[in-house]
Amino acid sequence: MKILHVEDTLTHSIVMKRMLSDHGVEVESVPDIDLLKDTADCDAAVLDLVLPNSSGAETVLKFVRRYPFLPVVVLTACRDQRLHEECIKAGASSVLEKGISADAVKQALDKSICQHLEQRESRKRLEQIAKDMRCIANKNGNRNVSTGN
């Protein structure tokens, strides 16, 4: 598994790399969302809420809008439950407080990736159902036009 860690504090980035490398997770760190170039090979993102160009749930929203295909786990020092809920509404899979164990982070990442894949599959199925229904409606509409009904 490879994750993207968006964190502007170098020591936190180093700690995350060390923590998760013991769990077989490769960590690519960047200090700001605006510096991201390519996320194609990443499975998920761990996002700090306070970055140079954004803070709070706005950070999550900004990231999710740019990279909707990546599941997001927020890692923050903030203990405000209302802010945690805002982050979930903005698109984060979960919100964890800094200082949590590597096992807990890895578990949250695994869960986030699974949920994201399930949601993507559900969207694909719904899109296919909608497409099938439009096709049926068009056929029925054409039949009614051709028969004069």
Backbone angles phi, psi at 98, to 5 degrees: -60, 145
**Which range (15-24, 48-57, 89-98, 104-113) has the least confidence?**
104-113
pLDDT 10s digits, 113-140: 777 777 777 777 888 888 888 888 888 7
**Which range (75-79, 111-115, 143-147) has the least confidence?**
143-147
pLDDT 10s digits, 78-103: 889 999 999 999 999 999 888 888 88
What's the pLDDT score for residue 143? Answer: 57
Asked whether the whole model's pTM tops 0.75, one would answer no
What's the pLDDT score for residue 146? Answer: 47
Burial 31-68 (b: 16+ CB within 10 A, else e): bebeebeebeebbbbbbbbebeebebbebbbbbbeebe
Higher-confidence residue of 117 and 13: namely: 13
The chain-wide mean pLDDT, for the chain, equals 85
Least Cα distance to 63 among 120, 137, 4 occurs for 4
Query: CB of 42 within 8 A of CB of 36?
Result: no
Domain 2-118 -> CATH class: alpha beta
> Across the chain, where does the E strand assignment appear?
2-6, 26-30, 44-47, 50-51, 54-55, 72-76, 94-97
